[in-house]
Amino acid sequence: MSDHGTPRDGTVRRFEHPGRGMIRARPIPKGRQVDPHAKMEIEALLGDASRQRDLLIEHLHLVQDTYGQISAAHLAALADEMGLAFAEVFETATFYAHFDVIKEGEANVPALTVRVCDSLTCAMFGAEKLLAELQQVLGEDVRVVRAPCVGLCDHAPAVEVGHNFLHKADVDKVKAAVMHQDTHPHVPDYVDYDAYRAAGGYKTLERLRSGDLDVEDILKVLDDGGLRGLGGAGFPTGRKWRSVRGEPGPRLMAVNGDEGEPGTIKDQFYLNTDPHRFLEGTLIGAHVVEATDVYIYIRDEYPISRAILAAEIEKLPAGGPTLHLRRGAGAYICGEESSLIESIEGKRGLPRHKPPFPFQVGIFGRPTLINNVETLYWIRDLIEKGADWWKSHGANGRVGLRSYSVSGRVKEPGVKLAPAGLTIQELIDNHCGGMSDGHSFAAYLPGGASGGILPAAMNDIPLDFGTLEKYGCFIGSAAVIVLSDKDDIRGAALNLMRFFEDESCGQCTPCRVGTQKARMLMENSIWDTELLGELSQCMRDASICGLGQAASNPLTSVIKFFPELFPDHPMAAE
């Protein structure tokens, strides 16, 4: 018998309602019914895996990977299996770009998806033309879609066939991969556990766990060396670790491996070459703050990194915190720390209002240490070589090392480990082999999509924290994109605004509507610079998180520093 008095066999019951007389009960309960076959498939797919709430995104990935899409029947069955409301599962699945949710009556997606990166560097190297050509030649059995940055800016244009990434792709390369079903990631050679141990790896962690190395000594090295967060915000690492230690336990730790800023490639580089140096730094951080569990969140566009980490984590000896490898699902916003927390908890990646801050109230409401991949990568070296070693590097009055992700019109793009504080000219001339043949230096992005755009004439600014802010720019994660005289500066700013519009989570009006309105205004042949300026100010002042606050930086910097494009605008003369 149902809660409404209707027998479960479907027979109809009549009863008298005060004031309405005899009424007829519904033959079935309200709401979506779980399909028995879909229920069996979900049960078999999950097997003995936990049904806890925070694993929802992981289970959605399982369905997507198995069936190539997520049907309404599977969503309902998954919701029932995990004891969640269908609406909650549906809104989470539809929030993330890499889940293909098929509503009732919609056609199934093709078995193979080809994603063409259209972020700035790939667009500079012909991604738009490549996308159009592939949509014409690959046929109806292959879905061809545009995709935001996949972290291969030094190999532009990049194309993803299934989960196989093609470097410097063209039509013939993509057609060959499709024809031969070459759709799986190719794992390169890297420093595995045995090789890392043989070279002295994990001795620092062992010293710390044995008590031979004191926690305060580590914190002092971090403070004295001045290591700052290398994910973009630049917060002092030692101070962050002390803040988390000062909160009552139990404490947790999260690693932000959601490297989605267009132009940024450094974290993937380190994970794919020397993963245990990162893992040792992670375990040292977890020990210092006494974290019981560590959640390593890696963006879905990095299947090679996830495969390497999954294999190498299994080789770690017992003891220490539990490491949980979590998979993003195509949402740039999850690089923001509070959105990251929401995603780790299996929810939509909507930014939280602050305060409280994550070091106070983080994952599952517990104090949480959040660090970027590269920050943790340097922990072992800094402890073993000392603060003076770190401070011995630097240029133009700055301190430390930076991993510059360089792409665009240079002869030798890639990750460039160099002194912090280099100027763009020094970076191009001394580390990138100069400009590409036939190209003259015209402009550059010092800090990825949100870091602004500066002209080549401003080539003497040290690239580091605190040096670019007075120009309305910042270095962020040091994603440097070099533009030449053959590139359209206004077109570059428009490309970036389209990215922000697409990646806005939609939670707050200034960002959701502001990015859309800005994009529409920027598509006009003549920009209404006064209106764009007002709109930019509103987005900076009222957006909840850094996405909306920084989305207009390229727009405003182009208006300000490229006066030849806007001769009638008052800002251009400043």
Q: In this structure, which amino acid lies at residue 358?
A: P
Output 17 or 342, whichever has higher pLDDT: 342
Confidence of residue 570 (pLDDT cuts 50, 70, 90): low
pLDDT for 216 beyond 90: yes
**Around Cβ 180, how many Cβ atoms within 10 Å?**
9
Average pLDDT over residues 146-162: 97
To 10 degrees, what angle do helices 237-245 and 215-225 make? 150
Per the rule left: phi > 0, alpha: psi between -120 and 50, beta: everything else, 528 is beta
Confidence of residue 29 (pLDDT cuts 50, 70, 90): low
Confidence of residue 4 (pLDDT cuts 50, 70, 90): very low
Q: Residue 199 corresponds to which tokens in the numbers above?
A: 């070279």
Distances from the Cα of 398 to the Cα of 378, 381, 401, 423, 463, angstroms? 18, 19, 9, 11, 9
Q: What are phi and psi of 349, to 5 degrees?
A: -85, 65
- Tell me the whole-structure pTM to 2 decimals: 0.93
* Residues 217-247: tens digit of each pLDDT: 999 999 999 999 999 888 999 999 999 999 9
Show contacts of 182-189: CB within 8 Å, 24+ apart.
183/112, 185/303, 185/304, 185/307, 186/304, 187/304, 187/307, 187/308, 188/272, 188/273, 188/304
Confidence of residue 331 (pLDDT cuts 50, 70, 90): very high
**Looking at residue 354, what is its pLDDT?**
93
**Looking at residue 8, what is its pLDDT?**
43
d(CA 385, CA 395) in angstroms, rounded, equals: 20
pLDDT for 86 beyond 60: yes
Domains, the chain, ordered by start: 36-102 (1.10.10), 112-180 (3.40.30.10), 193-383 (3.40.50.11540), 401-485 (3.10.20.600), 490-565 (1.20.1440.230)
Output 476 or 17, whichever has higher pLDDT: 476
Mean pLDDT score across all residues of the chain: 93
* Residues 240-287: tens digit of each pLDDT: 999 999 999 999 999 999 999 999 999 999 999 999 999 999 999 999
Average pLDDT over residues 389-401: 95
pLDDT for 5 beyond 50: no
Confidence of residue 569 (pLDDT cuts 50, 70, 90): low
**Looking at residue 103, what is its pLDDT?**
87
Distances from the Cα of 475 to the Cα of 101, 403, 437, 503, angstroms? 37, 11, 27, 21
Q: Residue 104 corresponds to which tokens in the numbers above?
A: 């009732």
pLDDT for 6 beyond 60: no
pLDDT for 567 beyond 80: no
Q: Can you tell me whether residue 295 is helix, strand or coil?
A: strand
Q: Can you tell me whether residue 497 is helix, strand or coil?
A: helix
Q: Can you tell me whether residue 326 is helix, strand or coil?
A: strand
**Looking at residue 104, what is its pLDDT?**
82
